[in-house]
Structure 1
Amino acid sequence: MRRTESNTTPSAHSQKPSKTASTPKAPPKKRRKIEPSHDAVNLDEPLTSSLPDNSATNAPVEDEGDGSRTVKEMAKVTKKKPSKKIKEPTPEPVLEHYQPRSSNSWKIGAHVSAAGGVENAVTNAASIGANAFALFLKSNRKWTNPPLTDASIKKFRNRLAVLNYDPSLILPHATYLINLGHPLSESREKAYVTFVDELQRCQQLGLTLLNFHPGGTVGQISKEECIGNIAACLNRAHKEVPTIVTVIECMAGHKNVIGCDWQDLADIIALVGDKSRVGVCLDTCHMFSAGYDLRSKENYGRTMSTFQEVVGFSYLKGMHLNDSKAPFGSKKDRHENIGVGSIGLEAFGHIVSDIRMKNLPLILETPGFDCKTVWAKEIDVLNRVSLRLQGGQELTEEESVMVDEIKMAIKRTEADGWAAKGKAKAITTKKGTIASKKGKGKRKADDDEADISIDGGSSLTELSE
């Protein structure tokens, strides 16, 4: 009989393999071929050559936890920045680029902008047909300013020569902050340091005059003490900067301000040691507001005779030609365009035909809208008035025609949206303020730059406190 398998045969699970039995090896796994990618490392190359340059790209590096470090993907291609165009220097001006200026012996001009460098004041003056001009040598609202650069100084001097400007016909204006009569020695010294800096800037530019507001008592000392302080500062400054004539401006008549009465000017001059180093600037708006009438020929004659008796024409170094928004004797300093205000064109005709005013800087400080048209028109009108009166002709009907020309220039400028005190276009609000579109603040519609700051930003109104 055939033997059959019994159920007692050990199962595959219960059988133990003998020690001599060999376990069959598993077949080797096939290696998957890894396609190279843009960030794979080529093992045939040195490690340093296959890694991105982190120092150049500032690529962040991460730690994977096993000690190895990988570079973040740098797949984005950096856009190549276009190379900057080299700005070519602006060619220096030549006289032929400007309209011919009047050959009039009464040298009429304006207080022009020096934004971007004092050298720009020269070309700004030439662009409006000015035969004289004024400028600020630094910010008129700051105590300290960066020094003039050698490049600006050189360009300023060169442009004066190229555009035929006599340095004696340039009447720079010192900052409004200066009060040489201040009762506090510390504040007065601060003003003095700033004043000397202005004189040194004049010297650097080859100029001969510096116009300034004398200051005031601040309601704390007598007029005599204040005048003594001013004269003492001038004597010190004349020794420190020995070439510039300091020109005191007459003022409008506000309480506590020195220079409203012409006797104040004479008293300062009397205390100055070197009389050749001091002079006076007459401002027509200030004179009119202080009670010195210029309107009729008779009144003009009396006023100028008084000036000769009290101060003397030998000290007159220049004039500011401004009409007045305020009435006669108001003690208010509010400049207006020529012929448009309370003074009238006839009064300016007296000045630009007075032989004593020949070859002096006659400077407009009227609202000029910081553009060429208004000042250019006022200068043109005043030169025509001057030449007409020199020829023995009367203004009569021509006066109103010329004033209308100025009014039309103002109207066109306002229609273009220019603010009276800057390049930003302006909007007149219901409250009587003018706000620039650039949002740089607001100002009163009738406020002008002729107000003075006495100490550290104090306004003119604080002089009465």
Structure 2
Amino acid sequence: MPRPQRAAAAKAKSKPIDFPESSEASSSDEAAKTKVVEHKSVQVRETITAKEKPNSSVTVTKLEKTVKTTVKLKPKAGVKRKAGEDNDNDSNSDNEGQKSTIQKKVRASTKKNPPTMIPAVARTVGMKMLVGAHVSMAKGVQNAITNSNNIGGNAFALFLKSQRKWASPDMKESDAVAFREACKESRFDPKRHILPHGSYLINLAQSDKEKAKQAYDCFIDDLKRCERLGIGLYNFHPGSTLGLPRSEALARIAAHLNRAHKETRFVKTVLENMAGQGNIIGANFEDLRDIIADVMDKDRVGVCLDTCHLFAAGHDIRTQASYDTVMANFDRIVGREYLVALHLNDSKAPLGSNRDLHQNIGVGFLGLEAFRVLMNDKKLEGLPMVLETPMKVESTWAEEIKLLESLVGTPGNDPDFLVKAAKLSAKGEEERKAAEAAEKKKAIKKAPKPRKKGGKKQSEESWEDGNTEDEAEHSCEH
């Protein structure tokens, strides 16, 4: 029996499992109670036969292996249930009123002995294009590594804490140690393969002193968490001018980076290019250039290019020729030496829409050819490439990772590639048509209105119609 299963069985022997007694369950010796135990990404189903006797047999089935142990079933005294009342511990009877079930999630601790999980999809060994996804760190930061392994990722991103709260509980040292050990076991280099994403609340361009302090405190806390975990890169959104002069906003960002670099040892602060909605900074390469120009330690700053953001900001990368033009502009304005990571996302919105709307690879306006071109750019080898595409089931990212890896070395006229690209494009055709129609409608609303007779100015109502919800879009749709 693997060590995690033996530990689970030993724990079951040593500690009684308590169940509240329902009226249906107590009425029959044959009543059955079922609980689902979730241990990392593997589910274990335990079927417990409840009888009036204090001891009962428990059968634990995991990965087609069965382990038997004995536990005490102690009904809780004084627990009553009203008819028709629902809660997590309710027993639901069938039409004959003879059986009842209980569904309960139990999370096993992984602090001392994190289980070694078999990946659902094997990582491709020897890949120079390091593709992964933004995975969850629920149940412990080290769980992000397991989640990345399960989808076959050779790189990954994660949030180091809640991305929508200013303050979060401090990281436990035991979690930091477990993360570093898990990186070694899974052969991830945390300084090169992992790209944490900063909080959506952070705006280092903020001019208000109190709010600027709040943003910086959240920012520096993230950087210190990175260094405790041994992570060498930290990606964040540059922020918003909030309508104030852009040059002053860029200078404030650089000043915060200089201060942060002095308070930390090695983590590299990575600016992400943006889609350009409202007053958001980073849609053009000049913004990134000007921030970097004012950073004193150039070795501590870099850039992450998001493909959806590039396209939304008007940088067309759909063909080899247009991609080469965009990257040549980046090299000239910013410098390729600053490119340290990528976010791989298709776009739900057309070119130059300034809409930050991520789509699955090949389904959106970018199309599969854009990613074939990118995956064959040898200058990107060794950089973490992170998917932030819509994901309803874990297999989505696993499939997209393999899809992107399959594009390496594939020519644009390959018959299989052309069929695959057409199939993915057809999948998103209706949604793209709707998005194009919406963009046309929006363009009409934003167009200057002719003056009415008498020379009256454009109404306040029509001015409001010309403004779009883009102004309020500040974060990605992950």
Stretches of structure 1 that go unaligned for 5 or more consecutive residues are 1-78, 411-446, 454-458, 461-465
Runs of 4 or more off by more than 6 Å in structure 1?
Answer: 405-408
Q: Which residue of structure 2 lines up, in the alignment, with residue 376 of structure 1?
A: 398
Q: Which residue of structure 1 lines up, in the alignment, with residue 374 of structure 2?
A: 351
Q: Tell me the distance in 2 between the aligned counterparts of 1:277 and 1:88.
A: 39
1:128 correspondence with 2:173? no
Q: Which residue of structure 2 lines up, in the alignment, with residue 367 of structure 1?
A: 390
SS in 2 for 1:82: strand
CA RMSD of aligned residues (A): 2.7
Q: Which residue of structure 1 lines up, in the alignment, with residue 420 of structure 2?
A: 401
Q: Tell me the distance in 2 between the aligned counterparts of 1:403 and 1:205.
A: 43
1:313 correspondence with 2:313? no
1:327-372 deviations in whole A, cap 9, x for unaligned? 0000110000000000001101111110110000000000012x32
Q: Kindly state the Cα deviation for residue 82 of structure 1 after the two structures are TM-superposed.
A: 2.1
Q: Tell me the distance in 2 between the aligned counterparts of 1:231 and 1:255.
A: 21
Is the CA contact 2:121–2:398 (under 8 Å) kept in the aligned structure 1?
Answer: no
Q: Kindly state the Cα deviation for residue 96 of structure 1 after the two structures are TM-superposed.
A: 5.4
1:164 correspondence with 2:183? no
SS in 2 for 1:248: strand
The structure, 1 or 2, with the larger RCO (C-alpha pairs under 8 Å, 6+ apart) is 1
Is the CA contact 1:94–1:162 (under 8 Å) kept in the aligned structure 2?
Answer: no
Q: Tell me the distance in 2 between the aligned counterparts of 1:95 and 1:114.
A: 15
Q: Kindly state the Cα deviation for residue 100 of structure 1 after the two structures are TM-superposed.
A: 2.9
Is the CA contact 1:95–1:162 (under 8 Å) kept in the aligned structure 2?
Answer: no
Give the greater-gyration-radius structure (CA): 1
Q: Which residue of structure 2 lines up, in the alignment, with residue 421 of structure 1?
A: none
Matched to 1:157, the amino acid is: R
Query: Which residue among 385, 405, 415 is the counterpart of 2:407?
Result: 385
1:102 correspondence with 2:133? no
Change (3 A) 1:350 1:332: same
Q: Kindly state the Cα deviation for residue 97 of structure 1 after the two structures are TM-superposed.
A: 5.0
SS in 2 for 1:159: helix
1:243 correspondence with 2:243? no
Q: Which residue of structure 1 lines up, in the alignment, with residue 312 of structure 2?
A: 289
Q: Tell me the distance in 2 between the aligned counterparts of 1:210 and 1:203.
A: 10
SS in 2 for 1:207: coil
Q: Tell me the distance in 2 between the aligned counterparts of 1:160 and 1:100.
A: 16
Is the CA contact 1:266–1:310 (under 8 Å) kept in the aligned structure 2?
Answer: yes
- Normalised by the size of structure 1, how large is the TM-score? 0.67
1:278 correspondence with 2:270? no
Query: Which residue among 193, 196, 201 is the counterpart of 1:177?
Result: 201
1:261-282 deviations in whole A, cap 9, x for unaligned? 1100000000000000000000
Query: Which residue among 318, 321, 331 is the counterpart of 1:298?
Result: 321
Query: Which residue among 286, 289, 299 is the counterpart of 1:263?
Result: 286
SS in 1 for 2:304: strand
Q: How does 1:330-341 map to 2 (within 5 A)?
A: 330-341=353-364
1:3-37 deviations in whole A, cap 9, x for unaligned? xxxxxxxxxxxxxxxxxxxxxxxxxxxxxxxxxxx
- Normalised by the size of structure 2, how large is the TM-score? 0.65
Q: Tell me the distance in 2 between the aligned counterparts of 1:88 and 1:322.
A: 34
Q: Tell me the distance in 2 between the aligned counterparts of 1:89 and 1:187.
A: 38
Q: Tell me the distance in 2 between the aligned counterparts of 1:171 and 1:368.
A: 19
SS in 1 for 2:407: helix
Q: Kindly state the Cα deviation for residue 115 of structure 1 after the two structures are TM-superposed.
A: 1.4
Is the CA contact 1:235–1:272 (under 8 Å) kept in the aligned structure 2?
Answer: yes
Q: Tell me the distance in 2 between the aligned counterparts of 1:144 and 1:406.
A: 42
Q: Tell me the distance in 2 between the aligned counterparts of 1:405 and 1:218.
A: 39
Identity %: 45
Stretches of structure 2 that go unaligned for 5 or more consecutive residues are 1-53, 55-71, 77-105, 429-468
Q: How does 1:36-51 map to 2 (within 5 A)?
A: none
Q: Which residue of structure 1 lines up, in the alignment, with residue 79 of structure 2?
A: none
1:82 correspondence with 2:74? yes
SS in 1 for 2:385: strand
Q: Which residue of structure 2 lines up, in the alignment, with residue 420 of structure 1?
A: none
Q: Kindly state the Cα deviation for residue 123 of structure 1 after the two structures are TM-superposed.
A: 0.4
Tell me the number of residue pairs that the alignment of Structure 1 and Structure 2 aligns: 333
1:298-351 deviations in whole A, cap 9, x for unaligned? 101101100000001100010000000000000110000000000001101111
Q: How does 1:215-254 map to 2 (within 5 A)?
A: 215-219=239-243, 221-254=244-277
1:92 correspondence with 2:114? yes
1:21-56 deviations in whole A, cap 9, x for unaligned? xxxxxxxxxxxxxxxxxxxxxxxxxxxxxxxxxxxx
